[in-house]
């Protein structure tokens, strides 16, 4: 497995991977989760998207965004065939290292309150809930992980 920055031709791959990874949430939420409609061409152009690949096959996607509040883990998705093998944890580890590399100490994210398994996973990985908020019609749970030390 290798994680690499997404390239301009990867937008359709990112979109398909994310749509497949989030599809099971649509009935639970009654609508598509926000990452399903994201502009992956813009994410790639901004240098915010990565692809996890094995033998040239996309197995995961990661979107990180610099914000004034720290590095936002905006999206993480793992292909169904690759789930349960530690790839999501590895991508979160990359996000933590990237946070420090960028001179920040806070990695944060939000997820939908109906994505209870995600909240539980993030909690196990050391994130803590900071607050809940309604945004764009979504009931979001905000979480953060404070990282020790600053890079460079």
CA dihedral 86, 31, 110, 126 (to 10 degrees): -30
| pLDDT value for 10 | 97
pLDDT band at 149 (very low <50, low <70, confident <90, very high): low
Spatial contact of 101 and 77, defined as CB atoms under 8 Å apart: no
| pLDDT value for 87 | 87
140: number of Cβ within 10 Å: 18
Cα-to-chain-centroid distance, residue 58: 15
Using CA atoms, how far apart are residues 107 and 100, in angstroms rounded to an integer?
Answer: 9
Over residues 20-43, the pLDDT tens digits come to: 999 999 999 999 999 999 999 999
Over residues 65-100, the pLDDT tens digits come to: 999 999 999 999 998 888 888 888 999 999 999 999
| pLDDT value for 38 | 95
Note the helical H segments in 1-148.
Answer: 11-22, 25-29, 40-45, 87-101, 116-124
Per cent of the chain over pLDDT 70 is: 97
> Cβ-count burial of 42 within 10 angstroms (0-12 exposed, 13-18 middle, 19+ buried)?
exposed
């Amino acid at each position: 497995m290798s994680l690499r920055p997404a390239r301009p031709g990867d937008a359709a791959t990112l979109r398909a991977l994310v749509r497949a990874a989030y599809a099971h949430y649509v009935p639970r939420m009654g609508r598509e989760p926000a990452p399903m409609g994201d502009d992956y061409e813009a994410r790639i152009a901004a240098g915010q998207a990565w692809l996890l690949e094995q033998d040239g096959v996309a197995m995961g996607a990661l979107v990180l965004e610099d914000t004034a509040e720290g590095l936002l883990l905006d999206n993480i998705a793992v292909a169904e065939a690759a789930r349960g093998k530690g790839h999501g944890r590895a991508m979160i580890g990359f996000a933590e290292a990237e946070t420090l590399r960028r001179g920040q100490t806070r990695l944060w994210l939000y997820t939908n309150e109906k994505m209870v398994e995600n909240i539980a996973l993030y909690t196990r990985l050391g994130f803590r809930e900071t607050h809940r908020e309604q945004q764009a019609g979504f009931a979001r749970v905000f979480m953060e992980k404070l990282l020790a030390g600053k890079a460079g």
